Amino acid sequence: MPVSTAGSSYIEKTRIQNLFCPVKEALPAGMVKPLLRALAGEAVRPAPFWLMRQAGRYLPEYRKLRASADSFLDLCFSPTLAAEITLQPVRRFEPDAAILFSDILTIPYAMGQEVRFVEGKGPVLGPLNPAALRPVGNRLDPVYETVSLVRASLPGNTALIGFAGAPWTVAAYMVEGGSSRDWLQVRRMAFGDPERFAALIDRLVDATIDHLAAQAAAGAEALQLFDSWAGLLPPSGVRCWCLEPARRIAAALRERHPSVPLILFPRGAGTLLTEFAEIGDCIGLDTSADSGWAACNIQNNAAVQGNLDPALLVVGGEAMEQAAGEILSALRQGPHIFNLGHGVLPVTPPEHVAALRRIVQETA
């Protein structure tokens, strides 16, 4: 059942087709999309809604396309398929934003490090040789083509979010060679060989700026920087390897694309979020952040995004409804974008996402 009437004809039109199907419905002149209003600091009600990892394995239509592709990276670099995957959750749930379907590890891949995604294991990267990393060149161009395809086919009130991994988190995968139990290798390099590590971070800052700016140029209306592993570091490390790179990225983007807001998601940064709020237009709260604390300490400086526990979305029902209600009520006085505290889990029933979308829509 469509949750609002605004996009229902879009849903009707696109339901008939499985594959990429551009449909355009402009907002009346002068109206700004709800997500962009919240990012500009307005307390928009109902709160704009989208979910991290809203496209992915919990959707049968994603699994079907994924099974037909040779590899996950093939999907990321195939503009028509990546655009289709980006639009799948938009058709189902009418969120206020689409997030580009891609991955944070496209940057190391484009720099020449081997990157593969292994079923059941996640990313596996080849050995890191910083001296052998090359400039990204035009290898990420298919991503920008995806951005323009999606932008041309979104309903008028849905904003398009582009993204990149933050340098610290991308470096963590590059140094460890994949996910890790203790992430000791990357911390060893950061603490034990800070000059060599800074050189890697500097290259990633530059590549990230170019990647985000190119997404904005292709039609992304907001950008998110995922720093999923900020919480591995002590406060001084967060300031040095997460906050300072974010500051440089934000400054460069403000110069190149002053009207495109930046969402920072430094997961596990705790009370240091107040320092990130000085830099970003919006702060993504992880599951552990207290929304009442964020209302007092973040919303005065930046919009807040988040932060329902993805496990509550798996559980659904009253537990989910109550937790979502508490977040909405704690953050209702200021700019808030409803989201999860981390990505949608693959076992999530899609009906729970539809129910959550309705709850947020109906909470004025």
Taking CB under 6 A as the rule, does residue 71 contact ligand CP3? no
Rounded distance, CA 143 to CA 138, Å?
A: 10
**CB 299 within 8 Å of CB 337:** no
Rounded distance, CA 180 to CA 298, Å?
A: 31
Is 103 annotated as catalytic? Answer: yes
Residues constituting the chain: 364
Of 112, 231, 237, 343, the residue at the interface with ligand CP3 (CB under 6 A) is 343
Taking CB under 6 A as the rule, does residue 243 contact ligand CP3? no
Taking CB under 6 A as the rule, does residue 286 contact ligand CP3? no
User: Least CB distance from residue 165 to ligand CP3, whole Å?
Assistant: 6
Is 151 annotated as catalytic? Answer: no
Strands 115-118 and 122-125: antiparallel
Measured between alpha carbons, how far is residue 47 from residues 38, 52, 215, 220 in Å? 8, 16, 25, 21
Part of the chain binding ligand CP3 (CB under 6 A), chosen from 54-62, 148-156, 209-217, 255-263: 54-62
Maximum separation of any 2 CA atoms in the chain, in Å = 58
Among 62, 92, 173, 267, which one carries the catalytic annotation? 173
Part of the chain binding ligand CP3 (CB under 6 A), chosen from 52-60, 203-211, 241-249, 251-259: 52-60
# residues contacting ligand CP3 (CB under 6 A): 22
Of 14, 54, 113, 348, the residue at the interface with ligand CP3 (CB under 6 A) is 54
User: Least CB distance from residue 122 to ligand CP3, whole Å?
Assistant: 3
Alpha-helical (H) ranges within the chain are 8-15, 34-39, 60-68, 72-76, 79-93, 106-110, 141-153, 167-176, 184-192, 194-218, 235-238, 244-256, 273-276, 291-297, 310-315, 317-330, 350-362
Taking CB under 6 A as the rule, does residue 99 contact ligand CP3? yes
Q: Using CB under 6 A as the criterion, which residues of the chain lie in contact with ligand CP3 when the complex forms? A: 52-57, 66, 72, 99, 101-105, 117, 122-123, 163, 179, 226, 228, 343
Residues marked active site are found at: 53, 57, 66, 103, 173
